Amino acid sequence: MKVISGIQPSGELHLGNYFGAIRQYLKMQEEHDCLFFVANYHALTSLRDAPRLRRLSVDVAMDYLALGLKPERVGIFLQSDLPEVCELAWILSTVTPMGLLQRCHAYKDKVAQGIPSDHGLFAYPVLMAADILIHQTGLVPVGQDQKQHVEVCRDIGERFNSLFGETFKLPEPYILSDVAIVPGTDGRKMSKSYGNTLRMFEPENTLKKKIMGIQTDSTPVESPKDPEKDNLFALVKLLASDAERAEIEQRYRQGGIGYGEVKKRLLGMFLEYFKEARLRRQELENDPARVERVLAEGAAKARASAAPTLKAARAAVGL
Ligand code: ADP
Ligand code: TRP
């Protein structure tokens, strides 16, 4: 089965990206024919700073590698090294009803937050549909918040197929059911755009500062606490061993554990969980040519995979 997914290099990757996306990629690379890319075209909808975009794009690729994606099994590439998706996005946009895009949460949320909207932001799901459909993808591993975009992709593909004949395979979203939204240090969804992230590769001292600053309620140490209602515990649950999670959970319910203690332990769990990845990341930073090579090979794989579908789509519409 073909699998594709991408993450925008609109900021450094964080724990939400890891549990919401990358951990799923790691599983899938063992079983499927996968492409994982850095969605730098998509990032243009929020980032207008060329040196920063370039740096973050390579950073995301390095993060993929450090976290365990294997370039000998999967294609890792920059979206902009497959400009064919922009051509397909245009073709798809001519069969995409306005109403379909107006209903998309990501767009609606950004507009609601007062982020000025432009055509790129509005048309974002069409480009995402092109990313997916151009490879005849079967499965798209994404977090819950991207499910709607995969559904829109299916709708667009279906409409194209019904107008011009079977051209695209319709993909399924693949969502790990045990992954809830990872909360950030302020209790909202962890997100690059909220400045509330914990990053896998940040220096220990800033990580410590952020973890000690995680917002909690003011329940005293001795009082029982409901672990289900606490952000801090939500993070513990992701990073702790089963035994440690059970112990902390029991002490929450009984009372007698303070948030300060939990935060200190969370820092230790975090560093332990990502210990090997942090070492690998360091090695990659010292060997930028390796990352470039991986991206070049990944782009070649992606272009070979995309070519037949783009040709078929052009022919179907009469180009
Ligand atoms: P951000 O909100 O930080 O900009 P993206 O929208 O680029 O993150 O998300 C990239 C991937 O990571 C998506 O598949 C998304 O579902 C997942 N993801 C992002 N933040 C979280 C989170 N807090 N919890 C779970 N998954 C997340
Ligand atoms: N929209 C996705 C996000 O913000 C990134 C993305 C772009 C993507 N194209 C994709 C994800 C294709 C999966 C498949 O997370």
Span 195-217, pLDDT tens digits: 999 999 999 999 999 999 999 98
Question: What domain count does the chain have?
Answer: 2
In this structure, the answer to whether residues 150 and 208 fall within a common structural domain is no
- Rounded to the nearest angstrom, the distance between the alpha carbon of 127 and the centre of ligand 2 is 9
In this structure, the answer to whether residues 61 and 167 fall within a common structural domain is yes
Q: Is 3 in the pocket of ligand 1 (CB under 6 A)?
A: no
pLDDT of residue 192: 85
In this structure, the answer to whether residues 128 and 17 fall within a common structural domain is yes
Question: Whole-angstrom Cα distance, residue 78 to residue 295?
Answer: 7
- Rounded to the nearest angstrom, the distance between the alpha carbon of 39 and the centre of ligand 2 is 7
Domain of residue 225 covers: 202-273
Which are the catalytic amino acids?
110, 189, 192
Q: Which residues contact 124 (CB under 8 A, 6 or more apart)?
A: 42, 45, 104, 106, 107
- Give the number of C-alpha atoms closer than 13 A to the C-alpha of residue 179, restricted to the C-beta side: 20
pLDDT of residue 176: 64
196 located within any domain: no
Residue spans of beta strands (DSSP E) within 208-290: none
CATH code assigned at 123? 3.40.50.620
In this structure, the answer to whether residues 104 and 230 fall within a common structural domain is no
CA-137 nearest atom, ligand 2: 14
> How much is the pTM?
0.93
- Rounded to the nearest angstrom, the distance between the alpha carbon of 262 and the centre of ligand 2 is 34
pLDDT of residue 178: 59
Res. 180: pLDDT tops 80: no
Which-ligand-closest: CA of 199? 1
In this structure, the answer to whether residues 227 and 258 fall within a common structural domain is yes
In this structure, the answer to whether residues 228 and 87 fall within a common structural domain is no
Which residue has its alpha carbon closest to ligand 2 atom 3? 7
Helix (H), strand (E) at residue 3: strand 2-7
In this structure, the answer to whether residues 12 and 135 fall within a common structural domain is yes
Residues with CB under 6 A from ligand 2: 4-8, 39, 42, 128, 131-132, 140, 142, 146, 149
CA-21 nearest atom, ligand 2: 15
Percent of the chain's residues with pLDDT above 70: 99
CATH code assigned at 212? 1.10.240.10
Instruction: Give per-residue pLDDT as tens, 75-117.
Output: 999 999 999 999 999 999 999 999 999 999 888 888 888 888 8
46 located within any domain: yes
